[in-house]
Structure 1
Amino acid sequence: MPEYRRILLDGAVVEVRREGAELVAGDGRRVAAGTAHHLPPVVPGKIVAVHLNHRSRVEEFGIRLTPAPTYFHKPLSALNAHGGAVVRPEGCHYLNYEGEVAIVIGRTCRNIAPADAGAYIAGYTVANDFGLHDFRDTDAGSMLRVKGSDTLGPLGPGLVTDWDFRGKYLRTYVNGELVQDGSTDEMEWDMHYLVADIARTITLHPGDVLLSGTPANSRPVRPGDVVEVEAEGLGRLRNHVVTGPTPIRTDVGAQVTASEEVLSTALGGDWEFRGIRPPVRTTF
């Protein structure tokens, strides 16, 4: 399956094609994939993400799936790339990974049937839809700061075309340990359905990205952790977590919290309504 990447090569943004362990530019220059400075593989005009889609995630929270998917918007300033640092602001504790598959639009798309959606998809890439759940009490509806803070949208390493999304594993690793193990077959709504659903009222343009949901066991990570997301046939997206240089300002806006809502989302399970307390983590 062809795979295309965007890298910084000799100071310029260059689109390359992966050939084994090497990346090859149009002018013939070659660079080792493992040492290249990666950029996000696409330049989207918008990033749309589905709230819940994997059945294991729904079961983890002990809730009933909505009759149709619901979505939120992730700002472009959240974009990050393979190898990039994910910043957990000082004073925040609940930065969760969410391994996902990202759909990349290839043609202008509006008011199409799910059966026709494949013709409008350029390809797929790996995503990690990081969530800063310290802000969940105030942004649960919009997810603006929860999912839209700077660096929380890594994509990559490359854009793979001609990829069949059916029956593919989706796995997340933290410091080499497997922490999420899901499959695209557990998605309630497949890639084509999601594209057609959004395109009913929102025109999708080439490069736009749709995030298709995460399996169970999204949990907090801390500075120093290395998080990798692997989707079968799409490669492995690697990022590391660092601490932000300054704390969240306290003289403006809602402040970070550790309420039942925050803990139940960050640590998995609806603790409030089950009448039990979440496990206490002593270090973050």
Structure 2
Amino acid sequence: MKRARVMVNGVVYGATERDGQVVLDDGRRLWPDQVTWLPPFAPTHKPRTILALGLNYADHARELAFKAPEEPLVFLKGERALNGHRQMTRRPAGVQLMHYECELTVVIGRQTKKVKREDAYDFIAGYTVANDYAIRDYLENWYRPNLRVKNRDGATPIGPWLVDAADIANPMALALKTTVNGKVTQEGNTKDMIFDVPFLIEYFSSFMTLNPGDLILTGTPDGVVDCQPGDVVVTEIEGIGALMNTIST
């Protein structure tokens, strides 16, 4: 099932998808442009921890002229960085390079501690799409992204849907695609991750506890390009959905 969280006339509703429409919890059916989209997590399961991977695709590491990491390169994000489908993300004045990052995002379903790789999928509630914009001007260096790169308010659109884990047969074989103003600029596949989803759950849970609603953003393949104000960016993952975002000033 595809689930969402939307706002209509100032009221927040849970919603599902049916025949291209948004079906609210009260039964009303609306078109996607008739609602305000929010990050698709339940109010009772807001993410307490948001983990994001850098350089988790070898081709993206090569694109940035770095060798692939030998262990996960991870940073933390705050909840205020998250933004919804069809929303705006600001490009600060004077920035020379701001690019999208289409990322499969794992949503944890139950408390996760010292989980073995072979059991990892049992702890996943579902999957969504994130666009984890980066501003390269703000990097301290490639391996230690500072707060302004990944924790700016509204800088990480996520959604539109949270797709139940049971509906994704193999999350490690999903096509990713990004378009800018309708032109395809990035294509890849989750099979090319350096550290796959089961590995990441085993790795993180070996030293920290993950809770229901926590997020793992799993990195992006190569093909990132600079985005300018007015650009409409769509990051899409097979079977999960297409996340649309517009760059503003």
Q: TM-score, normalised by structure 2?
A: 0.92
Does residue 237 in structure 1 map to residue 243 in structure 2?
Answer: yes
Q: Number of aligned pairs?
A: 242
Matches within 5 A, 1:96-245: 96-137=99-140, 141-161=144-164, 162=166, 163=168, 164-243=170-249
Q: Give the alignment partner of residue 51 of structure 1, picking from 30, 46, 54.
A: 54
- Residue 140 of structure 1 deviates from its aligned partner by 5.3
Q: For residue 14 of structure 1, what is the amino acid of its counterpart? A: Y
Q: For residue 113 of structure 1, what is the amino acid of its counterpart? A: K
- Residue 23 of structure 1 deviates from its aligned partner by 1.6
Give the structure 2 partner of residue 32 of structure 1: 31
Give the structure 2 partner of residue 272 of structure 1: none
Q: Distance in 2 between matches of 1:97 and 1:74?
A: 16
Does residue 94 in structure 1 map to residue 97 in structure 2?
Answer: yes
Give the structure 2 partner of residue 67 of structure 1: 70
Q: Please, what is the CA RMSD of the aligned residues?
A: 1.5
* Runs of at least 5 residues in structure 1 that lack an aligned partner in the other structure: 244-284
Asked if structure 2 preserves the Cα contact closer than 8 Å seen for 1:86 and 1:242, the reply is: yes
Q: For residue 20 of structure 2, what is the amino acid of its counterpart? A: A
- Residue 58 of structure 1 deviates from its aligned partner by 2.4
Give the stretch that moved more between structures: 92-101 or 104-113.
Answer: 92-101
Q: Distance in 2 between matches of 1:58 and 1:37?
A: 35
Give the stretch that moved more between structures: 45-54 or 27-36.
Answer: 27-36
Q: For residue 16 of structure 1, what is the amino acid of its counterpart? A: A
The structure that has the greater radius of gyration is 1
Give the stretch that moved more between structures: 74-83 or 50-59.
Answer: 50-59
Asked if structure 2 preserves the Cα contact closer than 8 Å seen for 1:96 and 1:220, the reply is: yes
Q: Distance in 2 between matches of 1:143 and 1:179?
A: 26
Q: Distance in 1 between matches of 2:182 and 2:33?
A: 17
Asked if structure 2 preserves the Cα contact closer than 8 Å seen for 1:93 and 1:222, the reply is: no
- Residue 128 of structure 1 deviates from its aligned partner by 0.4
Asked if structure 2 preserves the Cα contact closer than 8 Å seen for 1:226 and 1:239, the reply is: yes
- Residue 153 of structure 1 deviates from its aligned partner by 1.0
- Residue 183 of structure 1 deviates from its aligned partner by 0.4
Asked if structure 2 preserves the Cα contact closer than 8 Å seen for 1:73 and 1:142, the reply is: no
Give the structure 2 partner of residue 6 of structure 1: 5
- Residue 62 of structure 1 deviates from its aligned partner by 4.2
Asked if structure 2 preserves the Cα contact closer than 8 Å seen for 1:125 and 1:160, the reply is: yes
Q: TM-score, normalised by structure 1?
A: 0.81
| Partner secondary structure for residue 71 of structure 1 | strand
- Residue 26 of structure 1 deviates from its aligned partner by 2.5
Asked if structure 1 preserves the Cα contact closer than 8 Å seen for 2:47 and 2:214, the reply is: yes
Asked if structure 2 preserves the Cα contact closer than 8 Å seen for 1:84 and 1:240, the reply is: yes
Percent identity over the alignment is: 36
- Residue 201 of structure 1 deviates from its aligned partner by 1.4
Task: Identify if the C-alpha distance between structure 1 residues 141 and 59 changes in structure 2 by more than 3 Å, giving closer, same or farther.
Answer: closer
Asked if structure 1 preserves the Cα contact closer than 8 Å seen for 2:102 and 2:176, the reply is: yes
Give the stretch that moved more between structures: 57-66 or 163-172.
Answer: 57-66
- Residue 53 of structure 1 deviates from its aligned partner by 1.2
* Runs of at least 5 residues in structure 2 that lack an aligned partner in the other structure: none
Asked if structure 2 preserves the Cα contact closer than 8 Å seen for 1:21 and 1:34, the reply is: no
